[in-house]
Structure 1
Amino acid sequence: MYEGAVQELIDELGRLPGVGPKSAQRLAFHILEADGEDMARLVTAITTVKERVKFCTICGNVAEEERCAICRDPRRDPSMICVVEESKDVIAVERTRSFRGRYHVLGGAINPIAGVGPDQLRIRELLARLSDDQVQEIIIATDPNLEGEATATYLVRMLRTIGIPVTRLASGLPVGGDLEYADEVTLGRAFEGRRVMT
């Protein structure tokens, strides 16, 4: 236990995701030892992001304007919507350069243990986007974990009644992986997602 400001800084840093007590302590002492100008830039960057960045009114992605750059881009295909959990997932999909449609960021995944149900996600906003008959396919790209699967199942059941085709990203074996190290669920998904070789 440190006294005063140092302990307060460690406590606040420890509240960040993925930062445990030891990491928080290391970060706090790095901040203490770092150049004042570097830390002033860090403070400015944090303040600026909190003041300027908001969420896109259409898709829920991070944006500095009312609409994000993807929703403003007329070259994007409005007939496909890729549903993701978080804004960082948009970046992951964009890096593939395989998808030229639009996105919908849910703001998380269904997780009853953490108190997150469908009403806490941006599902109503997704349904509102489907009312103009422009969307021809919804791609569900939630994480392949328990919460992501629960969210995908919920969305499929809800969207099935609308009549728009709903697809799910394939999952299975990673490139460069070995079968002997794959768990049963991953290997099972790989079998389900197999395709004809031409």
Structure 2
Amino acid sequence: MSIQLGAALTAQRTAHHLSQADLATQLQVSPQTVADWETNRRQPALAALVKLSQVLAVPVQDLVGIRSPQPTKRHWWHPFAWNATEKIVPWYASGHQRAEVAIAMLIQLLADVPSDQTELRAILADHYQRIMAQVTSVPYVLQSLELQVAGCLHRTHYQFAPADEQAFARLLALSHIRGSLT
């Protein structure tokens, strides 16, 4: 999976009257790294995307061109409405569609997790990288994420905020090839 960040990043940087060197200084990376991002030679890590969105005051989903999922309501009278709840993606969605939605949701979760929760942030970032690298299927990556996050939350006694808990549950629901994606 490839996020094409270059054009949006260049546009946002110039709109904020920043040079590549200025942006690199604020992000604590080299100017060459910013140049590589703008030419799509390299992709920023998840933490760098979040920091970019903060520095440029732009939602990270807009920066990378991925829209957060907008659930659709299945009506009770729909002929295939075996579950009349909201759907994130249809059960027949492609791996690419699931990956895009999962990336948008992971980015939002990472932005919401406090910076002192380093283990949880590392787990989210690692699974983001797995989806980006297309190492294996999105459902498999999300099942692994569920296990690692559960262990982390148990060890650290951290609890997601209610909205983040719902977002995490919706993220995990993407692993259900067929079934409820509420």
Structure number with larger C-alpha Rg? 1
Q: Which has the higher helix share?
A: 2
TM-score (norm 1): 0.27
With structure 2 as the length reference, what TM-score do the two structures score? 0.28
- Comparing both chains, which one has the higher relative contact order based on Cα–Cα distances under 8 Å and sequence gaps of 6 or more? 2
Q: Normalized per residue, which structure has more strand?
A: 1
